[in-house]
Amino acid sequence: MASARNLRELGLAQAARLIAAGDITSEALVTACLERVAAREPQVQAWSFIDPELALRQARECDASPNRGLLHGVPIAVKDVLDTYDMPTEMGSPIYAGARPMLDAACVALARTAGAVIMGKTVTCEFAGMAPGATTNPHDPTRTPGGSSSGSGAAVADFMAPLAFGTQTGGSVLRPAAFCGVIGYKPTFGMFNRAGMKFAAESIDTIGLIARELEDMALVTAALTGSAFVAPSLPARPLRVGLCRTYLWPKAEPSARAALERAAAAARSAGADVREFELPAQFSRLTQTREIFNNVERARSLAFEWAHHREKISPALSRSVELGLATPDAEYRDAMRFAEACRIEADAIFCDFDMLLCPSANGEAPVGLHYAGDPSFQGLWTLLHVPTLSLPAGKGESAMPVGVQLIAPRYADKALLDAAYWLITQAGVTATMA
Amino acid sequence: MASARNLRELGLAQAARLIAAGDITSEALVTACLERVAAREPQVQAWSFIDPELALRQARECDASPNRGLLHGVPIAVKDVLDTYDMPTEMGSPIYAGARPMLDAACVALARTAGAVIMGKTVTCEFAGMAPGATTNPHDPTRTPGGSSSGSGAAVADFMAPLAFGTQTGGSVLRPAAFCGVIGYKPTFGMFNRAGMKFAAESIDTIGLIARELEDMALVTAALTGSAFVAPSLPARPLRVGLCRTYLWPKAEPSARAALERAAAAARSAGADVREFELPAQFSRLTQTREIFNNVERARSLAFEWAHHREKISPALSRSVELGLATPDAEYRDAMRFAEACRIEADAIFCDFDMLLCPSANGEAPVGLHYAGDPSFQGLWTLLHVPTLSLPAGKGESAMPVGVQLIAPRYADKALLDAAYWLITQAGVTATMA
């Protein structure tokens, strides 16, 4: 019989295989996760809503029914900007305290259709923005877990759930994954349907995944896109890796720089063709351009809340809305055109490279809970709509996790996962590398 | 004192000017529109929800308050796939009978912030798809008004409201506008924020406007994008017009062909440089490609309804969902890539032309209420994300309205409205042209 610890440390795909084989039950798995929540939630505060009975009821229903699909019986945590018909969706905002949507977000409904247990809702920064909730970093409670998918990162890293949905408008999936020492995956823009997601900036909002095991990304992708599960596999040819420090390099702290060099050296040693790659000069405008999208589109998508509940919106978000309202529409259209042009140019980069290797974030998770970290290193890629993945790549100066970021061209999500698989299994890019 | 008829026939911008000047009240204007509704709704059936007292209360509040903005006191009708906090949002589906969203869609909230009176909700085909409601064409009750923004087209054409919001995934704004003899405008993809819109296919869903007066499109654009109102004006140079029959020309009925030739001849006579333009050969795949988007994304965005309320989904929509579920994800990704490539190629067309002139629809509104018409002539442009406008251009063989469609490059919405302004005022392209 598997121990609770063994159960809660299972990856999602591995757990699904064991349930399908009858080796473990969904109830035992969910119970093990709930025990971890009970033990650690007072410190980690990853959940905005969790009802053990509701989670267990779903698990028992799975155990009593024939296999429903790829995710039969496995628990998934859901960032609280994604609607759930049976749990509140509060979006990190007092405006939505206790709010109950009529239906599930598409990704939640598709996961349930594939058999998943929706375990609970994870803490989000206010409207997936910059104002954090109470979640702490599982590796050090004095530090931020990152955001805005704060609870998703912390819950997965702390073995409360094997996988969580997040959303990324700047760096809201990859940064908490990097800060918490797990894997974050932002698919190509548009690949996971966004119905039932509260928009931050709809031109760039992307639903992503946080998990401890790479294959789990492929499994959930299969469930959400109606595809067969194809596990990540080794690329047929040696990888051509662009070592891309980006124009943000001056922001990279020693921990981030060391992690990038470590991963690049490991890739080179394992046979990859690693060459320095410098982004086109005009890409340095991407950070500022993303801010325009973020402010203008937030101001528009929050028009109702701004009109009716302005006093309940945080100063940080109010500032973003005000900036958005003050931005001339012509500037926004120019930003749209510029982003389009850069996306096309980004496609061309991948004639020479299979993937780019970049810092995941500025460095380790900062001390303090009032700032979820700088989204710059993640945000430029979000604007480009390319798929990105953050892999743990050892520890930093304070023994906190540090990640490296992999980038592939739009729609080449499978190639991205395969490249990551190679980096983990062949080059040894892992949380414990030194 | 203006007569009820004069009032209800006012355009939105003209009405806003008269209210701002104190020449008419919002209450008088809304009353005139409501009287028209009372007289004609039994035949036209444009509204899924209208509460005269609620509309009048908003109007009186406007009359009692200082001018709130560009739309102060003017009534707007809202397609029933856009959320309203004070009215049901039923989406043409029994699943949502009586449903009350918690908040307004962004476009509704922004319109209210600018002072608009939200007059009521207009009938939509089921989830903005192909299964029509009861609305009839105001010009002939035996004919469809088009869809899926059926009630929006009919209400505006029948003088029940000066302007209505619609949404277009295939041809759902421009086709009802053409069939009902009014102007339909689909902005560049993404220009009107979609928060609070029920997604059909999120990669192409676009919020648009139906009105009788061209300047009203510019006024609402200004309100929704936080810009100053700039009325359409004459282009500085003679227009270079691409007469574009498209690969769909065999579908064009004599009425549509005659309208296109009429408009082209009028433009030429008025001094435009009108040349034939043939779309790149591979664009002929756009219709089929749009179907892939439509089916796959609908299947995903309706995952909750499909799981919980399948028996309440029409056979037509069920077929679309089933096709979507059966489409391999690789085919969908290829469709994404192809659409991206065609969008870039479409940008290049407009090095040689200021606008393209095309059929708006196959011809006049078909007889019968069970089929809202073929979306092909509108849908290829929706997929390309370009701004499009349908202008009335005389009558067809059955004395029903027929439109012509204008196309401009992405983000050049102002140039599109200016070109339309030239066509109307200088070339005489109007509902009564012969």
B203–A195 C-beta distance less than 8 A = no
**B153: helix, strand or coil:** helix
For residue A395, indicate whether it is catalytic: no
Is pLDDT at B4 greater than 90 in this prediction?
A: no
Crossing angle, helix A214-225 and helix A12-20, to 10 degrees?
A: 70
For residue A79, indicate whether it is catalytic: yes
How close does chain B come to A193, measured CA to CA in Å? Answer: 6
Residues A37-87: pLDDT tens digits?
Answer: 999 999 999 999 999 999 999 999 999 999 999 999 999 999 999 999 999
B226 — contact with chain A (CB < 8 Å)? Answer: yes
Query: How many whole angstroms separate alpha carbon B167 and alpha carbon B375?
Result: 13
Please count the residue pairs, one from chain A and one from chain B, whose beta carbons lie less than 8 angstroms apart. 120
Residues B143-192: pLDDT tens digits?
Answer: 999 999 999 999 999 999 999 999 999 999 999 999 999 999 999 999 99
Tokens of B317: 């929509």
Is pLDDT at B140 greater than 70 in this prediction?
A: yes
Taking contacts as CB-CB distances below 8 angstroms, the residues of chain B near A337 are 410-411
Query: How many whole angstroms separate alpha carbon B239 and alpha carbon B243?
Result: 12
Q: What is the ipTM of this complex?
A: 0.97
A118 — contact with chain B (CB < 8 Å)? Answer: no
Residues B49-71: pLDDT tens digits?
Answer: 999 999 999 999 999 999 999 99
Taking residues B75-96, report their average pLDDT.
98
* pLDDT at residue A3, as a whole number: 86
Taking contacts as CB-CB distances below 8 angstroms, the residues of chain A near B330 are 227
Domains recognised in chain A with CATH numbers: 4-225 (3.90.1300.10)
Is pLDDT at B342 greater than 80 in this prediction?
A: yes
**Half-sphere exposure in the Cβ direction for B353 (13 Å, CA):** 22
Contact A47, A60 (CB under 8 A): no
* pLDDT at residue B1, as a whole number: 52
Catalytic residue, chosen from A48, A150, A172, A203, is A172
**A404: helix, strand or coil:** strand
Is pLDDT at A1 greater than 80 in this prediction?
A: no
Is pLDDT at B376 greater than 70 in this prediction?
A: yes
Percent of chain B with pLDDT over 70: 100
pLDDT band, residue B39 (cuts 50/70/90): very high
How close does chain A come to B271, measured CA to CA in Å? Answer: 30
Percent of chain A with pLDDT over 70: 100
**A58: helix, strand or coil:** helix
* pLDDT at residue B139, as a whole number: 98
How close does chain B come to A114, measured CA to CA in Å? Answer: 11
- DSSP letters, A242-291, are EE---TTGGG--HHHHHHHHHHHHHHHHTT-EEEE----GGGGGHHHHHH
Hey, which bits of A105-205 come out as E strands? 117-122, 163-168, 183-186
Average pLDDT of chain B is 97
* pLDDT at residue A4, as a whole number: 82
- Report the 3 state secondary structure along B189-240: CCCCCCCCECCCCCCCCEEEEEECCHHHHHHHHHHHHCCCCCCCCCCCCCCE
Taking residues A305-320, report their average pLDDT.
98
B99–A102 C-beta distance less than 8 A = yes
A226–B193 C-beta distance less than 8 A = no
Is pLDDT at B343 greater than 60 in this prediction?
A: yes
Taking contacts as CB-CB distances below 8 angstroms, the residues of chain A near B332 are 225
- Please choose, from the candidates B350, B341, B359, B371, the residue with its C-alpha nearest in 3D space to the C-alpha of residue B396: B359
Contacts of A159 (CB under 8 A, 6+ apart): A8, A9, A33, A36
For residue B79, indicate whether it is catalytic: yes
Residues A375-410: pLDDT tens digits?
Answer: 999 999 999 999 999 999 999 999 999 999 999 999
